[in-house]
Amino acid sequence: MRIMIVDDDKTTRKILGLYLKGKGHVPVFAENGLDAIEKLASNEVDLILTDLNMPYMDGIELTKTLKNDPAFQSIPVLMLTTETDDAERKKASDAGINAYMVKPVSADSVSKMIKEMIIIKQQ
Amino acid sequence: MSDEMDEIINDFLIETTEIVDDLSQKFVELENDKDNQELVNGIFRSVHTIKGASGFLGFNQMVQLTHLTESVLKKIKDGDIPLTPGVMDVILESIDMVKVLLEHIKAKDGIEEDLTGILALLQGVYDQAGAPAAAPPPQTIQQAEIPAAPAEDTASSGGSGPTIEELDALMEAQSDQLLRPVGEILVEGGSVTTEEVDDALKIQNMIKESVDTGEVPKVGDILAATEKVSKDEVKKALSKQTQPEKDKPPQQAEQTIRVDVERLDNVLNLVGELVLARNRLMKVVSNLELKYTDNTDVAPLAELTAFINLITTDLQLAVMKTRMQAVRKVFNKFPRMVRDLARSMKKDVELALSGEDTELDKSIIEEIGDPLVHLVRNSVDHGVEMPDVRAAAGKPRGGTVLLSAYQEGNNIVLSIEDDGKGIDVEMLKEKIVEKGLSTPDELERLSTKEILDYIFLPGFSTAKVVSDVSGRGVGMDVVKTNIMKLNGTITIETEKGKGTKFLLRLPLTLAIIQALMVGVGTEVFAVPLASVVETVRIDQSNIKTIRGQETVILRNEIVPVHRLANKFFLPMGQSNGGHKMYLVVILIGEKKFGMMVDKLFGQEEVVIKSIEGFSNSSEGIAGATITGDGKVVLILDPAVMFVGDLRT
């Protein structure tokens, strides 16, 4: 699977990327929402893991944009964030994210979640 | 699975270690520039990153610690807690604990540290802000329901994926494309001033903080709303923003790969062997050229040898470069150290760094840390005076220690300079006499530099009150020995009341040196050329014995003479009976002396091979090498060889 990791933090991208690579996936990196949209134009991905708070375009805006675009709306979006505020979560789910995990997340739980999302996607 | 995890943990360690090193520096900067919001944000984000990555890999202690540290930092960021030195101490302590935890992770020892102390301290600082409750503990995993994704099948690309190296390159390449803030574009276009953009950002922040949910207006909108700029201009700027600058050529990703040091060492070793073989080849060819001047086959051979010589030299340089590291690696730990030291001594000391990008061989970088720590401590402890004393002397209350690195010919110079009280040579003399190291009469005859050299003798300390900082005079001699081990030299420059400067001169590399080949009797020795000043031919009658020490007068300077033959219990060669002999004049630090030999063979590039383990009395021998004609030759270490004599 090709999985896009959208996070403005280099270390997070790297560690997530290495981990996913180890699981046999191909990671694609983006630093923020705008960067992600630009990279989606030239990269086909099967799943997007995105952070919430990022400069220029945050995860919610990114999701909104993608879900309104017929070309990308089918890509599942998994949001990883430190935000525990219910209002923020509601905003995220309104935007159309497919799943939500609160950081810090463990490697296993991310892996499990990705598996579940793949299954749902394939149904 | 475990291999993969190991790899990720390894990467985690590298990344976090970098972040932590960087943090120490940022904190020191922050203490001098308390209102620098950008620095606070940077620190906050770094800690946040460590927390996230640790959580991902399941390092729970690290998560616990960084979580609370992050909470405290957030309060500082929001201005709820003033950044006092006390608060800073607690945060720095927590960063130290992060380092300890990283060590445990690295060692895979599974040891858990007792965090209660530091956590309580952090909590104390946190509560100081008047917050009723602690930050919520980090939640491990919280999962939301997964809404059914639209069913659509995209062919999933399996496969093994890219390698780590490719991944790194990919990340670097992708990270180049960052969008530029609208404000910046507008300022560039001359539509608004930087101040106006700052104002707009402030307004934006205020809105962000006061409004929990809902849209936060964009900087461009704020600027337009406050009528600093027209909407059209914002639009134009926005269009520029989404267009990556196309006129610029696509930036090449900086490609790096990690290589095991062992492999590099192996390559360097092989290059060393190649250099030796090249030297032999050149010797053989030059002999052939002399023997068969008319033979047409010899000329191409000579040409080819010259070419191989050139390539070998280039290769040697290239390999040496792979082992070079910036001194930044060593320098980075000093700002924090100086800060802690100065605080513990109630002094005000600023550390300035320069030339951090200067590169040195890895092995030198590894060895230079301890001597530098000692010298920097020394400057802070003995050099810089108490603020009141400085003020009384008409100096600024805060002292400065300048740590710099630069290249000088084939050497790298590291200097540690303070603007403190300098060394009182008269007091130093008293001390020398008091310790029975010399007599007043003797000292009268010595130059200031020679007197300063006494500081490097074992067991010498000038501090009236021994502080726990710079130790008890153990050190300076160790510093000197360590520097000499690296084929380096150390010198002192000082001016009473103005300050002191320690200069370390280090070779670029340790493995290959230029040497002067000398002969005694039938033996050949190599002398590192770096310490050779000149060679002179002298007559037996020039040697005068002064108080049991043979000396010669060279251009009105008295130079002690040592016979190399005596050191190795060798019979002097044919020149023993004759009157002519050669003197190799050697300069170690500020000390000059002559080494008497029978023959001079010339200069040769030699590869130092260690002879440790073959002999138990290798004092004065730096190693061995194989010369062009295939002989094994000892490389002398004149600094150590005559060090005993130097003290007389």
- B177 in reach of chain A (CB within 8 A): yes
Torsion of CA B436, B442, B447, B450, to 10 degrees: -40
CA atoms of B12 and B365, how far apart (whole Å): 24
The verdict on B212 touching A (C-beta cutoff 8 Å) is: yes
Instruction: Give residue B218's pLDDT.
Output: 64
Instruction: List average pLDDT for each run of 10 residues in chain B, which is 648 residues long.
Output: 73 84 80 78 84 83 86 83 82 86 83 82 77 43 42 39 51 49 64 70 63 56 64 61 48 67 84 86 89 85 91 87 85 84 86 88 84 86 87 89 85 89 85 81 83 78 46 63 80 88 83 84 87 86 85 87 84 59 81 87 80 63 79 83 54
Contacts of B140 in chain A (CB under 8 A): 104, 106
Interface check for A42 against chain B (CB to CB < 8 A): the answer is: no
Listed as own residue / partner, the contacts of B213-221 with beta carbons closer than 8 Å and 24 or more positions apart are: B213/A87, B213/A88, B213/A91, B218/B182, B219/B181, B219/B182, B219/B183, B220/B182, B220/B186
- Residue-wise pLDDT for B421-454, tens only, equals 888 888 888 888 887 778 888 888 888 888 888 8
Domain boundaries, chain A: 2-122
Cβ(B502)–Cβ(B420) under 8 Å? no
Burial class (CB in 10 A: 0-12, 13-18, 19+), B63: buried
Q: A64 CB near a chain B CB, below 8 Å?
A: no
Structure tokens given for B544: 């005068």
At the fourth CATH level, the homologous superfamily of domain A2-122 is: Response regulator (3.40.50.2300)
Q: What does the pLDDT read at residue B189? A: 62
Q: How far is CA B587 from CA A85, B468, B530, B595, B636, in A?
A: 71, 35, 9, 11, 14
**For position B568, what pLDDT does the model report?**
80
B442 touches chain A (CB under 8 A): no
Q: How far apart are CA B235 and CA B175, in angstroms?
A: 25
Decide: helix, strand or coil at residue B605: strand
Q: Which of B378, B382, B417, B487 is catalytic?
A: B378
Residue A31's closest chain B neighbor by CA?
A: B175
The answer to whether A88 contacts B162, with C-beta atoms less than 8 Å apart, is: no
- Considering Cα of B356, then B66, then A80, then B158, what sign does the dihedral take? positive
Show the DSSP H helices in B475-558 as ranges. 476-485
Q: What is the CATH number of domain B326-507?
A: 3.30.565.10
Report the relative pairing of strands B499-507 and B489-495 from DSSP bridges: antiparallel
Is B48 catalytic? The answer is: yes
Q: Is the minimum CB–CB distance between B49 and chain A shorter than 8 Å?
A: yes
Q: Which among A13, A87, A121 is the nearest to B213, CB-wise? A: A87
Between CA B189 and CA B3 the distance in angstroms is 53
The question of whether B482 is a catalytic residue gets the answer: no
Residue B216 near chain A (CB below 8 Å): no
Chain B residue with CA closest to A36: the answer is B174
Partner-chain contact A85 B19, CB within 8 Å: no
Type of residue at B217: P
Q: What gap in Å lies between CA B233 and CA B164, rounded to an integer?
A: 44
- Which of these, A108, A17, A64, lies nearest to B168 by C-alpha position? A17
Question: What backbone phi and psi angles, to 5 degrees, belong to A92?
Answer: -65, -45
- Is the predicted pLDDT of residue A4 greater than 90, yes or no? yes
- Determine, for residues A120 and B146 on separate chains, whether the beta-carbon distance falls below 8 Å: yes
> B507 with B413: CB under 8 angstroms?
no
**Alpha-carbon separation of residue B444 from B26, B154, B437, B492, B496 (angstroms):** 49, 90, 14, 19, 19
Q: Are B50 and B62 in contact (CB under 8 A)?
A: yes
Axis-axis angle for helices A10-22, A107-122 (nearest 10): 60
Q: Phi, psi (5° rounding) for residue B300?
A: -60, -35
pLDDT over threshold 70, residue A89: yes
For B316-354, b/e burial (b = at least 16 CB within 10 A) is beebbeebeebbbbbbbbbbbbbbebbeeeebbbbbebe
- Count of Cβ atoms closer than 10 Å to residue B537 Cβ: 10
**A35 at the B interface (CB within 8 A)?**
yes
Type and span of the H or E element at B595: strand B591-597
Q: Which two tokens stand for residue B423?
A: 């060394």
pLDDT of residue B178: 46
Q: Considering only CA atoms, which of B110, B126, B109, B34 is closest in space to residue B73?
A: B126
Got the DSSP string for B263-317?
HHHHHHHHHHHHHHHHHHHHHHHHHHHHHTTT-TTHHHHHHHHHHHHHHHHHHHH
Partner residue facing A106 (CB), from B11, B49, B56:
B56
**Nearest 10 degrees: CA dihedral of A66, A69, A70, A71?**
-70
| Paired tokens of B132 | 């009723």
Closest CB to B7 among A18, A84, A121: A18
Q: Using alpha carbons, select from B517, B533, B534 the residue that is nearest to residue B525.
A: B517
Note the pLDDT of residue B227: 62
Active site residue B411: no
Q: Dihedral angle at the C-alpha atoms of B202, B207, B212, B214, nearest 10 degrees?
A: -120
Residues B609 and B616 sit within 8 Å (Cβ to Cβ): no
- B156 has a chain A CB within 8 A of its CB: yes
Please judge whether B167 and A27 are an interchain contact, meaning their C-beta atoms are less than 8 angstroms apart: yes
Nearest Cα neighbor of B365 from B317, B407, B412, B327 is B327
pLDDT of the residue at B119: 86
Closest Cβ–Cβ partner in B7, B15, B152 for A74: B152
Estimate the crossing angle of helix A59-67 against helix A86-95, to 10 degrees: 20
CATH top-level class of B512-646: mainly beta
Give every CB contact of residue B148 below 8 A, 6+ residues apart in sequence: A120, A123
Contact flag B151-A109 (C-beta cutoff 8 Å): no
Can you tell me the distance from the alpha carbon of A88 to that of A94, in angstroms, rounded to the nearest whole number?
10
For residue B143, the chain A residues in CB contact (below 8 A) are 99-101, 109, 113
Instruction: Compare all CA atoms of chain A with the CA of B171 and give the residue at the minimum distance.
Output: A29
> Is A19–B52 a contact, with Cβ atoms under 8 angstroms apart?
no
The position carrying tokens 């789910």 is A93
Q: Smallest CA–CA separation between A31 and chain B, in Å?
A: 7
**Confidence (pLDDT) at B490:** 87
Report the largest interatomic distance among the alpha carbons of chain B, rounded to a whole angstrom: 104
Q: Where are the domains of chain B?
A: 2-128, 182-242, 261-323, 326-507, 512-646
**DSSP letters for A8-37:** S-HHHHHHHHHHHHHTT-EEEEESSHHHHH
Q: Which of A18, A74, A84 sits opposite B8 (nearest CB)?
A: A18
| B209-227 pLDDT tens trace | 555 545 556 666 666 666 6
Residue B383 per-residue DSSP state: I
> In one letter, which amino acid is B147?
P
Asked if A101 and B141 come within 8 Å (Cβ–Cβ), the reply is yes
Percent of chain A with pLDDT over 70: 98
Distance CA B604, CA B586 (A): 17
Name the packing angle between helices A10-22 and B2-32 (round to 10°): 180
Superfamily of domain B2-128: HPT domain (1.20.120.160)
Report the amino acid identity of residue A48. Answer: I
Return the residue of A nearest to B15 by Cα. Answer: A11
**What's the complex ipTM?**
0.75
Instruction: Output phi, psi for B505, to 5 deg.
Output: -110, 125
Angstrom distance (rounded) from CA A36 to CA B79: 33
